[in-house]
Amino acid sequence: MSNLTTAIKVKNLSFYYTTSKVIEGISLDVYKNQVTAIIGPSGCGKSTFIKTLNRISELEGKVKVEGSIELFGQNIHDPRVNINRLRREIGMVFQKPNPFPMTIYENVAYGIRISGKCPKAELDETVEYALKGAALWDEVKDKLNTSALGLSGGQQQRLCIARALAVKPKVLLMDEPCSALDPIATMKVEELIHSLRADLTIAIVTHNMQQATRVSDFTAFFSTDESRIGQMIEFGATGQIFRNPLDKRTYDYVSGRFG
């Protein structure tokens, strides 16, 4: 692993909603230009964990974070960090496609518009770049000014990916991005994830273990014990985690005995 660069370095991370601790002591490197899958049973803190990487979890109310998270060496909790910029650098795609009730074009242009003035020609270019990056351009190029809500579920999810790509993020976080999609739309998103990693770093939560083996380079297995607090049980190259897990709990989960 010596030729890998760390994009996000998580050290001894614990997270609380009000006073209830939901994840504890997680240390993990998310490598640049690699896809890292996070798997584990429901409620073990996978969503909380990835939402903490771009500080979206702080929008949930009174929360507490312990430990540290660095994005390319910069502490994301440093008071000098511009949180809007951080969330542009670390984009996110959610479980259910959530396009805005606007045109396809405006959905993709949204993030650029709110971050300042941009000449129309440049905006057009970026919208095209992002839609191409999300493998959606050919399907929508003739109807950019129609409502995004008229797209199929799979197209809407690729539109949300395009919206994230438009602001040129360094990292893309995906929380079960295919769970609301049919198998063909899922396959398209998986192919997209595979191609995006050339330019981008991706962390993806998935409950689908075949998906983790298909799309990821590294896998982190999270679980809870009697305390119900989420922990990282094992991290490794995806092939190792699925074929040769070192921890019995990982073995039981990936072989479908539990979960």
Q: Closest approach of Cβ 157 to ligand ADP, in Å?
A: 18
Our finding on whether 47 is near Mg ion (CB under 5 A) is yes
Angle CA 188–194–199, to nearest 5: 125
Of 172, 236, 242, the residue nearest 28 (C-alpha): 236
Distance from the Cα of residue 116 to its chain's centroid:
25
Measured from the CB atom, is 194 or 207 closer to ligand ADP? 207
Q: Closest approach of Cβ 215 to ligand ADP, in Å?
A: 18
Cβ neighbour number for residue 258 with a 10 Å cutoff: 11
Our finding on whether 10 is near ligand ADP (CB under 6 A) is no
Query: Taking CB within 5 to 8 Å according to partner kind, which of Mg ion, ligand ADP, none is near residue 42?
Result: ligand ADP
* DSSP H stretches of helix in the chain: 46-53, 83-89, 104-114, 120-133, 137-140, 153-165, 183-196, 209-215, 238-243, 248-254
**Binding residue for ligand ADP (CB under 6 A) from 10, 26, 28, 44?**
44
Our finding on whether 206 is near Mg ion (CB under 5 A) is no
Q: 192: helix, coil or strand?
A: helix
Query: Taking CB within 5 to 8 Å according to partner kind, which of Mg ion, ligand ADP, none is near residue 159?
Result: none
The residues that touch ligand ADP, with contacts defined as CB under 6 A, are 17, 22, 42-48, 60
The residues that touch Mg ion, with contacts defined as CB under 5 A, are 47
